[in-house]
Amino acid sequence: MRILLKNVKTLPHLLGEVGDQFIAIEVLIEDRQVLKVYKSITENIVADKVIDGRGFFLSPGLCDPQVHFREPGFEYKEDIESGSKAAAKGGFTTVISMPNTKPAADNKEVVAFMWQKSLEVGLCRVYPTGSLTKELKGIELTNFSELKAAGAIAITDDGKGVQKEEVFYQAMKEAQKLDLPILDHSEDESLSMGGSIHKGKKAEEFNVKGIDPASESVHVERGCRLSGETGCHYHVLHISTKESIEYVREAKKKGYCVTAEVSPHHLLLCDEDIPENEHGLNANWKMNPPLRSAQDRAACVEALLDGTIDAIATDHAPHSPVEKNQNIEKAPFGIIGLETAFALIYTHFVKNGELSLSRCIDLMSFQAGRLFKLNLGRIQEGALADLCLFDLDNGFEVNEDFFASKSKNSPFIGQKLFGKTMLTLFEGKVVYHNL
């Protein structure tokens, strides 16, 4: 099957060339791959199907280093199929899925199930991760080589920090031997103390238990240090504080194999933005790590712009309305993010000139893929045809009906954004169509 994608524009950088000005291209796709990229209007190309891209911006398919697809165990929140649909709607063709399912992905059977299920669904590449400890309890290491053989692309106890340094150290030594990255949800529970939001003005004002920002940075310091000792690739998930960023910056200067991702909500919101509802503070603004102070948010933005941050991750964490529509201290942590991520970054950082569109796409594809040694993020002959089209010019409003996810727990409902997805192709197959 040959598909010709006509009438689209892209940036030479995304073709693997030099240049940051839009150029018109046509792309011929054969089966799963890009067969040819034409930089002039062509005629007489034989194709089974022609798609008119209506002049929209063609991007490589995006890659998200951190999503929660909840299957097995919490299918009422999301499953691999609905999560993949949300990914496709956001322009994502590759996602890395976290192991805090039920049962947890601490054994080869669950990891193999996740991989197999994602292949059956076939809307997105969903790479599973294996948990670092059995049942994510932080005590006994899992069998990393078995998890890797079953398809795990990385090791993490995401959802929980690993409390014991010795356990984390042994994990890093083992992961280094197997060439697996360790993804760290950095949280020292002796400092986060069961809090719900950032320990700051808002927590004080509403008498809500606060989470000390040091609970993150002490673990980031530990991870950076142990990466230096073991040579293991240490990746900080959803970084959110000024101090954590400083540790990453220092580790990078020393040449350690340390990387970090940031989530759109930590770039755009802080604790003081949490609005009220009938239950007190609105739990759709509750996630872990929490929305931090204005200074932390500014530090995340600075780190994104100066290159300290390697990738953008949504930490897509669906929860049902019943779970979220209650007192903020009772509601679970997490917000969804796949459908809004590109539009948020485009609207708030690219459109105003702070971040170039090339860098934005690299942070969300090429560089995100590189964390896992995946070769993604370029529109090139021979590459898998993971492509998406974005409308950069016409605004749209995010409302509850907008989401393909089973859940709607987003603090961005009501925002007017630019960068709506118009089409997503996953390995040459149309998986989302809005043209």
> Do the beta carbons of residue 305 and residue 297 sit within 8 Å?
no
188 is a catalytic site residue? no
Kindly tell me which of 65 and 91 has the beta carbon lying closer to Zn ion. 65
Select the span of 145-153, 182-190, 333-341, 360-368 touching Zn ion (CB under 5 A).
182-190
Kindly tell me which of 26 and 216 has the beta carbon lying closer to Zn ion. 216
Taking each helix axis from N to C terminus, what angle separates 80-89 and 108-121, rounded to the nearest 10 degrees?
A: 50
Q: How far is the CB of 160 from Zn ion (least distance, A)?
A: 8
Q: How far is the CB of 185 from Zn ion (least distance, A)?
A: 4
Q: How far is the CB of 121 from Zn ion (least distance, A)?
A: 24
Contact letters for Zn ion, residues 193-212 (x by CB under 5 A): --------------------
Select the span of 179-187, 221-229, 322-330, 359-367 touching Zn ion (CB under 5 A).
179-187
Question: Strands 2-10, 49-52: parallel, antiparallel or unpaired by DSSP?
Answer: parallel
What is the amino acid identity at position 271?
Answer: D
Torsion angle of the four alpha carbons 79, 84, 104, 63, in this order, in degrees rounded to the nearest 10: -160
Catalytic residue among 157, 188, 212, 315: 315
The answer to whether 216 contacts Zn ion (rule: CB under 5 A) is no
Select the span of 183-191, 211-219, 243-251, 417-425 touching Zn ion (CB under 5 A).
183-191
Kindly tell me which of 68 and 378 has the beta carbon lying closer to Zn ion. 68
Kindly tell me which of 60 and 289 has the beta carbon lying closer to Zn ion. 289
Report residue 412: phi and psi, to 5°.
-100, 5
Kindly tell me which of 185 and 319 has the beta carbon lying closer to Zn ion. 185
The answer to whether 316 contacts Zn ion (rule: CB under 5 A) is no
Kindly tell me which of 123 and 237 has the beta carbon lying closer to Zn ion. 237
Contact letters for Zn ion, residues 368-397 (x by CB under 5 A): ------------------------------
The answer to whether 286 contacts Zn ion (rule: CB under 5 A) is no
- Residue nearest Zn ion by beta-carbon distance: 185
Q: How far is the CB of 222 from Zn ion (least distance, A)?
A: 16
What is the amino acid identity at position 155?
Answer: I
Q: How far is the CB of 237 from Zn ion (least distance, A)?
A: 5
Whether residue 321 has a cis bond before it, omega within 30° of 0: no
The answer to whether 108 contacts Zn ion (rule: CB under 5 A) is no
What is the amino acid identity at position 345?
Answer: I
Q: Outline where 282-355 has alpha helix (H).
A: 294-306, 321-324, 341-345
> Do the beta carbons of residue 64 and residue 94 sit within 8 Å?
yes
The answer to whether 235 contacts Zn ion (rule: CB under 5 A) is no
Which of 6, 13, 185, 198: binder of Zn ion (CB under 5 A)?
A: 185
Kindly tell me which of 183 and 423 has the beta carbon lying closer to Zn ion. 183
Kindly tell me which of 11 and 183 has the beta carbon lying closer to Zn ion. 183
Q: Give me the half-sphere count of Cα atoms (radius 13 Å) on the Cβ side of residue 14.
A: 31
Q: How far is the CB of 337 from Zn ion (least distance, A)?
A: 12
Residues 150-169 binding Zn ion (CB under 5 A) are 158
The answer to whether 261 contacts Zn ion (rule: CB under 5 A) is no
Separation between Cα atoms, residue 82 and residue 379, nearest integer Å? 27
Long-range contacts of 220-224 (CB under 8 A, 24+ apart): 220/184, 220/186, 220/244, 220/247, 220/248, 221/247, 222/165, 222/168, 223/168, 223/182, 223/184, 223/186, 223/258, 224/248, 224/250, 224/251, 224/256, 224/258
Separation between Cα atoms, residue 303 and residue 292, nearest integer Å? 15
Strands (E) located in 115-257? 125-128, 155-156, 182-184, 197-198, 210-211, 234-236
**For 79-133, what is the HEC assignment?**
CHHHHHHHHHHCCEEEEEECCCCCCCCCCHHHHHHHHHHHHHHCCCEEEECECCE
Site size for Zn ion (CB under 5 A): 2
Q: How far is the CB of 175 from Zn ion (least distance, A)?
A: 18
Q: How far is the CB of 138 from Zn ion (least distance, A)?
A: 14
Chain residues that interact with Zn ion, rule: CB under 5 A: 158, 185
| Residues forming the active site | 315
